[in-house]
Chains A and B, each alone.
Chain A
């Protein structure tokens, strides 16, 4: 189980694409439907490689998302930490599920993360309470999960051999 250097490179490069997808400008109507890309990637890697991609890396990924979004430092870090904790605690069970069943867990994780993010933003004075439209992102995230799962699994099998 000794991690090799290439493992981290694959994870980091894939996260870079997640960041890109997370901030690429979209038309107004699509903003509420944008999947939680960074969350999905963190969810996959913590589930697939729980002893290598743990809480620390998820937290750091969230911190970089904070910088990218210009929100208060620690906000997305806390959100992604929570998601990673769920995924790490359940990883053995999650692996037994089919990707479609995993989508259900992803949906719940996304709802939790979106609600928590909005709640923290309001507390920090970055935003005001808005209608629940921002929760739509959980639906698209769950819908895209099976495809993303097979893509990332392919990536893992191709590049992470140990």
Chain B
């Protein structure tokens, strides 16, 4: 019994040291990337089963739907398509006008690219970080730093790529900073996620004289070249000017409601930049 007790302490101590070495090696030196990648296979069945209820309810919604409801939905979608097409016509003329103006101005082109559809299959299990897991990974060419978009707006960027899944850091995470601009007047700012439980953003270093109002739409400014330019990010919900402070406190709410969104898309950057770097998209490190 006594020898067992002594051995327990030594074993505990050696495992503590091993854990600390692992954390340092993984976090500071990035030695364990391949080990993480391999270990991620063991996590796959757990994710798969945890996602069953959500997929089941979606399947249920698709299969057990009445004929009249389908007809109704079809008609509604057709109206929406018509409206969208009309708006697209206006947009196309605007786009051509815009490109002519840009040519005059010799300004850089906006970021454009293809998208890869994905589904959110899980979320970070605690409130300490705001992340979601998507069902696309290295097998589909996802890389670290790739932008994730939803129909309503910008969601975040990929921070870890696993064989067939990836972790995405959301714009509302306190460690994520999104370069944005006010859609109304092009005022630029940096939007950082807030620490609280609410999904909110706070604009950093906004002077009290800057023209940002409640209700303004914040779009991505395209700086940093991670996110596409002019994609909606958040709506300003409050602006507080305190004469005693250096900066105004501006809060914004992201456009995407993460909990009610399942279908999302990953932005695939246009080909030329990839060909330029001679990179293999499946390798996560080169995309940074």
Known contacts: A70-B160, A134-B127. The answer to whether A124 contacts B195 by CB under 8 A is no
**Interface size, A (range):** 35 or more
Interface majority SS (helix, strand, loop, mixed), chain B? helix
* 8 Å CB contact of A85 from B12, B21, B50: B12
Interface residue stretch chosen among B38-46, B248-256, B278-286? B38-46
Determine the distance from Cα of A59 to Cα of B23 in the docked complex, in whole angstroms.
13
Q: Determine the chain B residues whose CB is within 8 A of the CB of A24 once the complex forms.
A: 50, 53
Q: With a CB–CB cut-off of 8 A, which chain B residues contact A88? A: 8
Tally of contacts, chain A with chain B, CB under 8 A: 125
Answer whether residue A89 sits at the interface, using C-beta atoms and an 8 A cutoff.
Answer: yes
- Let me know if A55 and B8 touch, CB within 8 A: yes
Known contacts A67-B36, A127-B175; is-contact A74 B126 (Cβ 8 Å): no
Contacts of B39 in A (CB 8 A): 63-64, 67, 73
Given the complex of chains A and B, what is the CA–CA distance between A25 and B197 in angstroms?
Answer: 16
Chain B residue contacts of A28, Cβ below 8 A: 127, 197, 259
Q: Are B47 and A23 in contact (CB under 8 A)?
A: yes
B interface residues with partner A (beta carbon < 8 Å): 5, 8, 11-12, 15-16, 18-23, 26-27, 32, 35-36, 39-40, 42-43, 46-47, 49-50, 53-54, 122-129, 131, 133, 160, 167, 174-175, 195-197, 259
A88 to chain B, nearest CB (A): 6
* Cβ A128 vs Cβ B174 within 8 A: yes
Question: Within the complex, what minimum Cβ distance (angstroms) separates A47 from chain B?
Answer: 14
The smallest beta-carbon distance between A115 and chain B, in angstroms, is: 12
Q: Is the CB of B54 within 8 A of A25?
A: yes
CB distance from A97 to the nearest CB of B (A): 20
Q: Is B19 within 8 A of A121, CB to CB?
A: no
A-B complex: 3 closest residue pairs judged by Cβ atoms: A74-B22, A78-B19, A74-B19
Say yes or no: is A107 at the interface (Cβ < 8 Å to chain B). Answer: no
Contact A59 B19 (CB under 8 A): yes
A133: which B residues are within 8 A, CB to CB?
127, 197
Chain B residue numbers with a CB within 8 Å of A54 are: 8, 11
What residues of chain B lie closer than 8 Å to A77, measured between beta carbons? 15, 19, 22
Min Cβ gap A156→B in Å is 21
- In the bound complex, residues from chain A placing their C-beta under 8 Å from that of B35 are 73
Q: Give the distance in Å from the alpha carbon of A134 to the alpha carbon of B19 in the complex.
A: 23
Q: Is A19 an interface residue (CB 8 A)?
A: yes
Which listed residue, A27, A72, A134, touches B128 by the CB 8 Å rule?
Answer: A134
A–B Cβ pairs within 8 angstroms, 18 of them:
A20-B49, A20-B50, A22-B125, A25-B123, A28-B127, A32-B127, A34-B126, A59-B18, A63-B39, A64-B42, A64-B43, A68-B47, A69-B124, A73-B22, A88-B8, A126-B128, A126-B129, A130-B128
